[in-house]
Amino acid sequence: MVERSDRVAGIQARWRVERPDLDVAPQGVIARLHRLAGHLTDELVAVYRQHGLGEGDFDVLATLRRSGPPYELTPLEIAEQTMVTTGGMTKRIDRLEAAGLVNRRPSDRDGRSRVVALTPEGTRVIDDAFTDHMANERRLVDQLTPRQQEQLEGLLATWLTVYEPAVPDPDDGAEPTSRAKPRQRQ
């Protein structure tokens, strides 16, 4: 067992006294991940706010921007790529459209459906925000050594394949390599 002296270690120590019959070692991983996720989210959201965006706004704009020219997708495609319900997506798109960052128009492929596209202002905002976001993420991961970053990324990627299927590299045309079944969204 690795000796730690943080809040989680204190919680585990108290549980070991109260419930010596239980193995609380997994709590050392899960609770630390949970606490760290909260701290990291706060750090990330602060950068989005500097650009007048909420976390969901950033997510939609980034999804459109990384889709490539002409930077447009259907609301369903955006929802699938952001893991947001279509109802939640409508509210986000409404807000972004009111801010002049996206617009909606009929699809060229199917006149019954609509597409959401970045406006020039939306492209400028997400490009500026994403630049700052990447600098912020670099600052955050640089709290670990390069070797620790590599190890952590590998461990997290391995663990994540239990819950999410691997995604093929869009440049190689290969099929996903993971046999993991995707979790059903609630």
Mean pLDDT, to the nearest integer, of 151-180? 75
Compute the C-alpha angle 32/35/39, nearest 5°.
Answer: 130
Contact 103, 120 (CB under 8 A): no
> What CA–CA distance (Å, rounded) separates 125 from 136?
16
From the options 1.10.10.10, 3.30.565.10, 3.40.1010.10, 3.40.630.30, give the CATH code of 51-160. 1.10.10.10
Mean pLDDT, to the nearest integer, of 29-50? 97
Number of C-beta neighbours around residue 111 at 10 A: 8
Pair type for strands 102-106 and 72-73: unpaired
Q: How does pLDDT run across 131-154, given as a tens digit for each residue?
A: 999 999 999 999 999 999 999 999
Top-ranked range on mean pLDDT: pick from 5-9, 65-69, 80-84? 65-69
More confident residue, 1 or 69: 69
> What CA–CA distance (Å, rounded) separates 121 from 139?
27
More confident residue, 19 or 178: 19
Give span(s): CATH 1.10.10.10, the chain. Answer: 51-160
